[in-house]
Chains A and B, each alone.
Chain A
Amino acid sequence: MMARSRNFDITRLPGFTLIAVLSFVLLYAPIITLVIYSFNGGNSVNQWGGLSLKWYAIAAQNEAVQSAAIRSFVIAIWASIIATTVATMAALGTSRRAKFKGQTFIYIVINQPLMVPEIVTAVALLLFFSWIKIATGYAGLGYLILAHSAFCVPFAYLPIKARLDGMDTAMETAAADLYASPLQTFRHVTLPLLMPGIGAGAMLAFIISLDDVIITEFVKSAGQDTLPTYMLGQLRRALTPEVNAISTVLLAVSVAVLTVFFLITRKRG
């Protein structure tokens, strides 16, 4: 009788523990294996040949890896700056003004990259950029930066919008009451208060850009490999534990950035 009067508790459903354990194993066992095998001293991706940092050294000395790594970071940094700027403006436009007709449509436009299959966007961008390439003759990193900026916008937008919606407009009213012009209000009140959201948005955008394969593969010109497309390329040749080492480094970077992200949102949110 006592038990029945208690609140619903999902841990008491039959099979809960089994499903939870299975989920964790499925999620993390492959990653843990990958990390362990990145320290493999042998030449096979899946046969253990002793503990060693050999493949890290090989990857670090590989010029193709070096240039892909630099390219990945350059693109990710630019893409996160551009996407975060656009996302911040979009968030302000959708939550710091009177409701307007077509607001729902704007949400759809902003979040389009989350809904349209990535492969479709990739093909579309390939087509679109090829025209521009022919017209302008420019074949630099700009196309990749633009493409990454575009699909990173919704990821940057979500935390910024959430932060802004949670912020009391009374702050801005108080600023206006204290002689701040709209621009001063933004600069001295809205922006500083929004900063944790903007930081979180930028970090998410950075990770998403760093990790992208499909769009990059379609948009890149020859010699414009990023780390993920370089690894994909290796798949078609002899696969060595080098990819494990690179993956582990990427994983470490992602975890580090996401940890900072959670620390920021926890502290200020």
Chain B
Amino acid sequence: MSVTNGFAVVARNVGKTYGEGKSAVTALGNVSLEIRKGEFFTLLGPSGCGKTSLLRCIAGFETPTSGAILLSGRDITYDPPNSRPINTVFQSYALFPHLTVAQNVGFGLKMQGKPKAEIASATARVLALVKLEAFADRLPQQMSGGQQQRVALARALAPAPEVLLLDEPLSALDLKLRKEMQGELKRLQIETGITFIFVTHDQEEALTMSDRIGIMSAGDLLQVGPPREIYNNPVNRFVADFIGETNFLTAEVRNNVVRIGAGHEFAVPLNGRQGTITLAIRPEQVSLGPAGTGLPAKVVEATYLGTDTHYTVALQDDSRLTARIQSNTTASLEVGDQVGLMIDPNAIRVLEA
């Protein structure tokens, strides 16, 4: 029994370079990743960071330039896509326009040579799962974007794959439908128990849906962990900036004490770091009190956002911070007001400068 057995998919030192010579583009540097069975795993990163490339290597549409892909402990790096028990929900849906919804959904099973009766019952079951029973005989063109998206999902689920790959499946939907489908996807994943590898560049989507998230940048995996861990303990400035809003403050460490603004001191766990460091502080961890308490600051911008109000304040050395305050907790502040700024030292993360 190999040690990789508990994992649905393992990427081992996967590199992918498109083209050769001068026109070569490196999409994946050296990605190692272990995705657990039955997990909702999300790849998150900015456009062009290599998310689709990694997914295509797992699906078999691309062959990695280096490294290996394992499925349940078996090396599938060079297997063709049609022999991998992995299905994909494409961003463009890629539904077959000449086949009805039911035929689209039954396609995978038909290609596997399953008997007609089994195809029919599986198709009906999956269509019920995505609530499209009434549309079985329609052509894809006769359906709305959201319905097509469900057909694509049903088509990929019907053959009961070990792993489902979803490449930004919700990006073409409007906000309301997207929220609805997020819940739907999560429900389907739990009901079917299939391992989902989900790609998005929407950090909120990633945080709400995933068991674990992998943050990618420029072809590399920067951090892998549960949403809470990534949000609270980003490994570097990129991750902190990409996940949620973050204030970055440059600070001086002197005698194991951190100084920000014009000489205000904080006790922050430093792990022996010295000199100039960067502090990451979430806007909701910043509170504003009356002038005279905490750090003196001045409100320079106030943005009302319904339940919350965002205040940008300037410290005495003119460095700026954003505070997110619940709108009904304090009397609203005006631009120009003097305030006292307080930060919970435990909420401050120290990053490399």
Taking a contact as CB atoms under 8 Å apart, the answer to whether B98 and A176 are in contact is: no
Q: In the assembled complex, how far is the CB of residue B195 from the closest CB belonging to chain A, in whole angstroms?
A: 16
At the interface with chain A, which of B81-89, B303-311, B333-341? B81-89
User: Can you list, as one digit per residue, whether each of B123-165 has a CB less than 8 Å from chain A (1) or not (0)?
Assistant: 0000000000000000000000000000000011001000000
Chain B residue nearest to A170 in the complex (CB) = B94
Say yes or no for B80: interface residue by CB 8 A criterion.
Answer: yes
Q: Counting CB contacts under 8 A, is B59 at the interface?
A: yes
| B198 interface contact, C-beta 8 A | no
Q: Are A171 and B159 in contact (CB under 8 A)?
A: no
Q: What residues of chain B lie closer than 8 Å to A176, measured between beta carbons? A: 60-61, 80-82
Q: Is A173 at the interface (CB under 8 A from chain B)?
A: yes
Asked whether, in the complex, the Cβ of A171 is within 8 Å of the Cβ of B87, the reply is: no
Question: What would be 15 A-B contacts, judged by CB atoms less than 8 Å apart?
Answer: A168-B94, A174-B96, A176-B60, A176-B81, A176-B82, A177-B59, A177-B82, A177-B86, A178-B108, A179-B82, A179-B111, A180-B107, A188-B111, A192-B98, A193-B97
9 more contacts with CB within 8 A, not counting A170-B90, A176-B60, A177-B87, are A170-B92, A174-B94, A175-B111, A176-B82, A179-B112, A181-B111, A188-B111, A192-B98, A193-B97
Q: Is the CB of B111 within 8 A of A173?
A: no
The answer for the CA separation of A171 and B108 in the assembled complex, in Å, is 13
Instruction: Kindly list chain A residues whose C-beta atoms are within 8 Å of the C-beta of B112.
Output: 179
B107 & A175 in contact (Cβ 8 Å cutoff): yes
- A179/B88 in contact, CB under 8 A: no
Q: Are B98 and A178 within 8 A (Cβ)? A: no
A-B contact count (CB 8 A): 59
Asked whether A171 lies within 8 Å of B96 as measured between CB atoms, the reply is yes
Q: What are the 5 A-B residue pairs with the smallest beta carbon separation, nearest first?
A: A178-B108, A174-B94, A170-B94, A179-B111, A180-B111
Nearest to A178 among chain B residues (CB) is B108
Q: Is A59 close to B, CB under 8 A?
A: no
Min distance, Cβ A250 to any Cβ of chain B, angstroms: 35
Inter-chain contacts of B97 with A (CB < 8 A): 193
Q: Is the CB of A179 within 8 A of B108?
A: yes
| A178 CA to B60 CA, complexed, in Å | 12
Contact A178 B61 (CB under 8 A): no
Which chain A residues lie closer than 8 Å to B81 at the CB level? Answer: 173, 176-177
User: How many residues of chain B have a CB within 8 Å of chain A?
Assistant: 24
Chain A: minimal CB distance from B150 (Å): 16
- The 8 A CB mask of A165-195 against B (1 = contact, 0 = none) is 0001011011111111100100011001100
Bound-state CA distance A108–B119 (Å) is 47
By a beta-carbon cutoff of 8 Å, the part of chain B in contact with chain A is 59-61, 80-83, 86-88, 90, 92, 94-98, 107-108, 111-112, 155-156, 159
CB distance from A174 to the nearest CB of B (A): 4
> Are the C-beta atoms of A173 and B98 separated by less than 8 Å?
no
Complex: A177 Cα to B81 Cα, angstroms: 5
Do A178 and B155 have beta carbons less than 8 Å apart? yes
Q: Closest CB-CB distance, A41 to chain B, in whole Å?
A: 52
**Residue numbers in B under 8 Å from A170 (CB-CB):** 90, 92, 94
Query: A173 touching B159 by the CB < 8 A rule?
Result: no
Q: A184 contacts which chain B residues (CB < 8 A)? A: 111
How many angstroms between the C-alpha atoms of A86 and B147 in the bound complex? 40
Cα of A41 to Cα of B38 in the assembled complex, Å = 86
- Least CB distance from B270 to A in Å reads 50
Q: For residue B88, which residue of chain A has the nearest CB? A: A177
**A residues in contact with B59, CB < 8 Å:** 177
List, in ascending order, chain A residues with CB within 8 A of B95's CB.
174
Cβ–Cβ contact A178 & B80, under 8 A? no
Interface centre among A177, A180, A181 (most CB of B within 10 A): A177
- Chain A residues 244 to 258 lying within 8 A of chain B, measured CB to CB, are none
**What is the bound-complex CA distance between A178 and B94, given in angstroms?**
12
Smallest CB separation, B350 vs chain A (Å): 45
Contacts known (A174-B88, A175-B107); A180 close to B94, Cβ less than 8 A = no
Nearest CB on A from B60, distance (A): 8
Whether B88 contacts A189 by the Cβ 8 Å rule is no
A112 to chain B, nearest CB (A): 33
Residues of B within 8 A of A173 (CB): 61, 81, 90, 94
Is the beta-carbon distance between A178 and B90 smaller than 8 angstroms?
A: no
CB distance from A187 to the nearest CB of B (A): 10
Cα A179 to Cα B97 with chains together (Å): 18
Most buried by B among A170, A171, A174, A180: A174
Chain A, 141-182, CB within 8 A of any chain B CB: 168, 170-171, 173-181
> Closest approach, in angstroms, between the C-beta of A260 and any C-beta of chain B?
19
- The reply to whether B98 and A193 contact each other, CB–CB distance below 8 Å, is yes
In the bound complex, CA of A177 to CA of B90 (Å): 10
CA distance A170 to B337 in the complex (A): 58
| A180-B96 in contact given A174-B90, A175-B107 (Cβ < 8 Å) | no
CB-nearest residue of chain A relative to B56? A173
With A171-B96, A189-B96, A192-B98 as given contacts, are A181 and B90 in contact (CB-CB < 8 Å)? Answer: no
CB within 8 Å of B: which A33-59 residues: none
Residue on A with the closest CB to B112? A179
Q: Cβ of A193: which chain B residues have Cβ within 8 Å of it?
A: 96-98
Contacts of A177 in B (CB 8 A): 59, 61, 81-82, 86-88, 156
